[in-house]
Structure formats: structure tokens, C-alpha cells
Amino acid sequence: RNHNGGGKAARSPRALVLAPTRELAIQIGEEFRAYSKFMHLRQTVIFGGVSQRPQVSALSRGVDIVVANAYYSKRQPFLELDVEGVRRTLDVTLMGAFHVAQAGARQMVQQGGGGSILFISSVLSFMPFATSMPYNAAKAGMNHMANTIAAEMAEHRVRVNVIKPGWTDTPGERQFTTEEQMREGAKNLPWKRLGTAEDLGKAAAFLASDDADYITGATLKVDGGMTLQ
């Protein structure tokens, strides 16, 4: 069986994982490998700084799976936001995902079609969390961008899906939240814990696998029931 979301002959697929830090990209990539069926996965890791197209040139080497998870977020009240901070959030979070997805999709088409593109969005894309307006808006834009790309790429057998994590324990989250705050906050969540990179890796592995061959333009919430409250 092939594991690239299309009809190409079986071979070792190449995956690109895009995250705000190298550490998180590697962690998600390791979980992706561990919980996927790609036992011989050739993996490339890209991290951060992808708001400009030249910085995603590594995609030209061939790619079957793209996981776009770069973001920038600086939590400030709306009245205190500055234009440059908003622009940086949109450039990295929204435009960074666009650049990587388009470069990956073009490469997949050149390879004959087939592939999987995963956007890591957020439940904040539809929950108006205070002090996070630029990030919330960027993720909301990502959702609609992903669905539109899915509609266009279906003819090339490239599947495009979205994962919406809830409150997740990441290095980025720890910049804003203390260990005690996360521990106490987890008590108020239905699943009584925060999400992890392992949870995202499992979801990404499923959506990129043959088991999800008929799934495109879909959104998978990985939030432990957070949005049920």
C-alpha cells in the first residue's frame, strides 16, 4: 500500500513538519513517525521563519506529506496592539502556512499527484480568546484557506485537512502559562489534562495515512472535549 494519499506506487515517503521551534518540530515529527505506518519514512524538518518563499526551498527535493504548524503569537490586549506585531503574526502563522502548502502542492503535482497536506490550526480560530486577536484571526483564515485548497487539489489526489488542537502543552504555551496554571487549568477540562505533541502526532499520522484516503477538506478537533463546555 502507498502512504501518500494518492495512487502512486509504494515507496518511502518524505514528510515535512513545520513548527515554530526546532524542538517542537522534531517532537511532533518523532510522534508522527512512531504512530504512523511509515516505518521507512524519510523525514525533513523545517522550523520557524517561513513567512518568505525562499525559506521553503527544501521542498524542491520531493515531498509526500506536509504538516504546517508554524506560528507566532504575542498576547496583548486589542487596544495595545501595534501594526508590526499583527503583521508578523499574520506573516508567520497564515502566510507561512500558505508558502509551505503551495510549494508542497506544486511539488506533489510535479511528482504525478498524490499527497497529504495538514494544517495545524487551533480551537481559537472560532473561540474569541482575549489578548490573542491576531493569532485567532490568522488561524481562522487558515481554516478557510485549507478548505479552498482541498477543493482545488482533489483532482490531483492531494488531500488537505485541518487539525484543531485545544489547550496543548508546548514550549510556546509555556511562554505564557506557568506549570501551576496549566496544572490547575487541566482540572477544568473534560479530559482533565492538556493535550500533548503525542496527541497531535497520532492525529497527523492518521490523516496522512491510507486509512484516511477518502478524507479531504475535513477538520479534526484534538481538544479533549474542551470546546464541549
pLDDT digit string, tens, across residues 198-211: 898 889 889 998 89
For residues 154-158, average pLDDT: 98
Q: Is the entire prediction scored with pTM above 0.95?
A: no
What's the grid cell of residue 127? Answer: 473561540
User: Active-site residue 72, yes or no?
Assistant: no
Q: How confident is the model at residue 170 (pLDDT cuts 50, 70, 90)?
A: confident
Q: Read off the pLDDT of residues 101-139 as tens digits, 9 standing for 90 and up.
A: 998 899 999 999 999 999 999 999 999 999 999 999 999
Beta sheet of 158-165, edge-to-edge order: 42-47, 14-19, 65-68, 115-120, 158-165, 219-222
* Residue range 14-223, CATH number: 3.40.50.720
Q: Which of 36, 73, 116, 122 is catalytic?
A: 122
Q: Which of 135, 164, 209, 221 is catalytic?
A: 135
Q: Which of 8, 139, 164, 221 is catalytic?
A: 139
Task: Please give the full DSSP string across 175-210, using - where no structure is assigned.
Answer: GTS-HHHHHHHHTTSTTSS-B-HHHHHHHHHHHHSG
User: Active-site residue 202, yes or no?
Assistant: no
Q: Read off the pLDDT of residues 16-75 as tens digits, 9 standing for 90 and up.
A: 776 666 666 676 667 666 655 553 556 666 655 555 565 566 555 678 898 888 788 889
User: Active-site residue 139, yes or no?
Assistant: yes
